[in-house]
Amino acid sequence: MKNWKGLLLGLLAWLAASASYAQKIIGSTKLTTAPVREYEKAEWDITLNSTFKNPYNQQEVSLDLVLTAPNGLPVVVPAYCEQNAAPQSRWKVRFAPQMLGAYTGFFRLTSKAGTEESAASSFTVVAGKKPGFLHKNDLYTFRFDNGDLFRGIGENVAWESRSFEDQKFTYDYLLPTLAKNGANFFRTWMCYWNLPLEWPKVSTTKRYVNSTDYFHPGAIKRMDELVQLTDSLGLYFMLTLDWHGHLMEKGGWRNSPYNQANGGPARTPTEFFTLPAAQQKYKNKLRYIVARWGYSPNIAAWEFFNEVDNAVYTQQDSLLIPHAAVTHWHAEMSRYLKDIDPYQHLVTTSISHRDIGGLNSVAYFDFNQKHIYKHTEKIPAIYPDYIQTFGKPYVVGEFGYRWEDANPAYKDGFNYDYRRGLWYGLFSPTPVLPMTWWWELFDDQKMTPYFRAVRDISDRMLAAGHGDFEPFDVASGVVQSFGLRCGDTYFVYLLNNTAAPVATAATFPTAGTKKLDGQAFDPSNRQSQKLTGLALKDQQLTLPTLTLGPQQERVLIITAGSKARAL
C-alpha cells in the first residue's frame, strides 16, 4: 500500500513539475501590425523558451493562434518557426482577417512537454481596400469575400529561367508584363529548380544552391518575394506544390526528400502515397505553407500535383502506382488542407490526359483540371462533359500547339492556338480561361498584349450580366461561332478557322422588340466599329455580313432592351 502511495505522490509531483515547465515555454507575444486591416496581413512575433529537434514536425511541436471572430466563430491560425537557436526559438503568425470588428484570442502550444495557453488578448480589424480571398461560386466565376466576381485570364509561368535558359525570364520581368497587359492570373510550380521548398539538392538552376535545412531557405525567401510581388501587381496565382517528375524513377525520385535513399520515409513512389510517415511529412509541408503564406489572397488555389497521371503510368501506359492509392492520398491531403487553412483557399490537382479513377470525385476539390496539347479545337467540348459527370467547375490548366518544345519554326501555329484557346475559354463555363504553356516563346512573339483584348470583353461580360451567363446557339455557316448573353447584352465570337476568306451573316434567336445596338470588336487591335443593318424578324436577329480572313476573328457585342432574351 505504501508503495502505491509513493508512486502516486511521485506521479503527481512529476505532473506538477511538467505543468510548471510547460507554463514557461511561451515567452513574449507581440502583434507588430497596426492597424489590422481586413484581408491584409497582420503579424505576431512569438518567443518560446525552448528549442526543438525539428520545429517543422508537428508531431513534436505546434503553435497556433486560437481566435474568436466578431461573429463568435472560432478561427485557428497555424504559426511557423522563424529561428530555432538555443536557448529560445522565434515564431511568427501571419493572419489576414476576413471580418471587421473585435477578435479575441490566445496562443496554444502543443509539444512533448504538454499543452500550454498564453494569456488572452484582443485586437480590432478596420476596413481595408482589398476584395478578399477567392472561393468557388459557379461554373463561370470565382467570388471574392466581398462578393465581387472573378474570371482568371493568364498563362503558365511555371518557373523562372533555368540555368540553360535566357536569364531574363524571372518573376520580376514576366509578372509585371502580364499585369500591365490585362492578365490577372498565372500558374507556377514548386520543384527542384523553382521554389524548391522541400529539396535539399537542387539542379539546373543558378538561383538556388543545395541546403541541409529542413525547408530550403532560398525557396522561402523567393516565395516571400513572389507573394509580395503578386500583391503589388494585383495578380492571382495557382501554386502547384509538386510535379509528376518528383515520383518518376528516372526523374526527381532519385533526389526526392521522400526517398529512403535520401533519408526520407518511402522506399518507392507508391509508398509516397501510402506510407503514414510519408503522409505525415507531407502534412508538415502543408502546415508550413499555410502558416507562412496562407494569409495571401493572391494565392488563389493550392494545386497538389502537376499531371499526376504521368507519375502513375509509363509513357507506354503501363501502370506504376495504383489509382486507389493516388485518389485516397488526394482525399486525405485535401481534407487536411481544408482543416488547417483558415481562409479556405481553392484546392485542386491536375492530370495530363489520363483520368485517375475517383480523382475527379474527391469531395474537397473545388474544381477539376486537365491539360490539352495538340488538340485546342477540343477545348469547348471538355467542359460540359466533365461538369455533367462530376458536378464541379473545370479548368484547362495548360494548353498548347505542341508539348515537345517551343520551336519558333511553329510560331504561327502556336500564336493561333494561343488566341483561339483564350476565346474558347471565355465563351465556355470555366472560372479560369485555358492557360498557355511556353511563356518564353509568347513573350518573344510579343503576344502578351493580346490578353488585354480578352480582358476587355471579360470585364464587359461581368459588368453587363453581374454573373449572368447564358449560352446560345449562333448560325454562321462555315465560320465557327459561340454566343453568351450576359444580362441584356449578347456576345458573339466568330472565328474563321479555314485557310481562305469567308463572308458570313450570323443569326441567332431572340425574344423582344426593343432597339438593338451593335459593335464589332477586333481583338488584334482592340478597335470597335458600329454594326449597322441589324435585322430583327420573327424573333430572329440577323447580323450584317462580315468578311473574315484566314484565322481571323471578331467579337460582336449586341446591346438589347431589358425584355430581349436569348431563346
CATH number of the domain at 503, please.
2.60.40.1180
Residue where a domain terminates, one of 432, 465, 498? 465
Say whether both 251 and 200 belong to one domain: yes
Q: Mean pLDDT in the chain?
A: 93
Task: Say how far apart CA 429 and CA 442 lie, in whole Å.
Answer: 25
Residue type, 178: L
pLDDT over 80 (residue 214): yes
The confidence band for 212, taking pLDDT boundaries of 50, 70 and 90, is: very high
CATH number for position 333 = 3.20.20.80
In a domain, 5, yes or no: no
Say if residue 475 is in the same domain as residue 407: no
Residue 317's pLDDT is: 85
- Do residues 395 and 341 both lie within one domain? yes
Q: Are residues 336 and 349 in the same domain?
A: yes
Q: Is residue 7 part of a domain?
A: no
- 528 beta partners: 521
Quick one: 186 and 49 in the same domain?
no
pLDDT of the residue at 561: 56
18 pLDDT above the threshold of 80? no
Residue 1 forms part of a structural domain: no
- Rounded to whole angstroms, the Cα distance separating 563 from 406 reads 49
Same domain, 344 and 490: no
* Banded model confidence at residue 511, pLDDT cuts 50, 70, 90: confident
pLDDT digits (tens, 9 = 90+) for 259-283: 999 999 999 999 999 999 999 999 9
Residue 2 included in any domain? no
Instruction: Report the percentage of the chain scoring pLDDT > 70.
Output: 94
Query: Are both 309 and 368 inside the same structural domain?
Result: yes
* Confidence class for position 23, pLDDT limits 50, 70, 90: low
Range of the domain at 485: 470-566
pLDDT digits (tens, 9 = 90+) for 514-564: 678 999 999 999 999 999 989 888 889 999 999 999 999 999 999 975 444
To 5 degrees, how large is the angle CA 193–CA 198–CA 200?
70
The answer to whether 287 touches 266, Cβ cutoff 8 Å, is no
Specify whether the CB–CB gap between 331 and 362 falls below 8 A: yes
Cβ-based burial of 173 (10 A; exposed 0-12, middle 13-18, buried ≥19): middle
Angstrom distance (rounded) from CA 558 to CA 542: 11
Q: Do 475 and 460 share a structural domain?
A: no
Residue 322 exposure: Cα atoms within 13 Å on the Cβ side: 8
**Does 37 reside within a domain?**
yes
Residues 224 and 339 in one domain: yes
Angle between helices 450-465 and 411-426 (to 10 degrees): 10
Q: Residue 366 and residue 301: Cα distance in Å, rounded?
A: 9
In this structure, is residue 54 part of a structural domain? yes
Residue 13 gets the label, from left (phi > 0), alpha (psi -120 to 50) or beta, of alpha
Set of cell numbers at residue 362? 474527391
Which tens digits make up the pLDDT trace of 419-467?
999 999 999 999 999 999 999 999 999 999 999 999 999 999 999 999 9
Note whether residue 12 is domain-resident: no
**Short-list 199, 211, 191, 213, CA closest to 81:** 213
From residue 479, give the alpha-carbon distance in Å to each of 88, 418, 508: 70, 18, 14
> Is 554 found in the same domain as 488?
yes
CATH number at residue 82: 2.60.40.10
* Residues 45 and 163 reside in one and the same domain: no
Among 449, 465, 481, residue at a domain's last position:
465
The number of beta carbons lying within 10 Å of the beta carbon of residue 464 is: 18
Complete DSSP assignment for 227-294: HHHHHHHT-EEEEEEEEGGGG-TTTGGGG-TTBGGGT-SBSSHHHHHH-HHHHHHHHHHHHHHHHHHT
Indicate if 174 and 46 belong to the same structural domain: no
* Number of domains comprising the chain: 3
Domain-embedded: residue 78: yes
How does pLDDT run across 349-385, given as a tens digit for each residue? 999 999 999 999 999 999 999 999 999 999 999 999 9
Boundary residue ending a domain (126, 154, 172)? 126
Measured CA angle at 263 (ends 200, 265), to 5 deg: 115
pTM of the model: 0.94
Using alpha carbons only, give the angle 301, 304, 306 rounded to the nearest 5 degrees: 100
Q: What is the pLDDT of residues 94-135, one digit of tens each?
A: 999 999 999 999 999 999 889 999 999 999 999 999 999 999
pLDDT tops 90 at residue 567: no
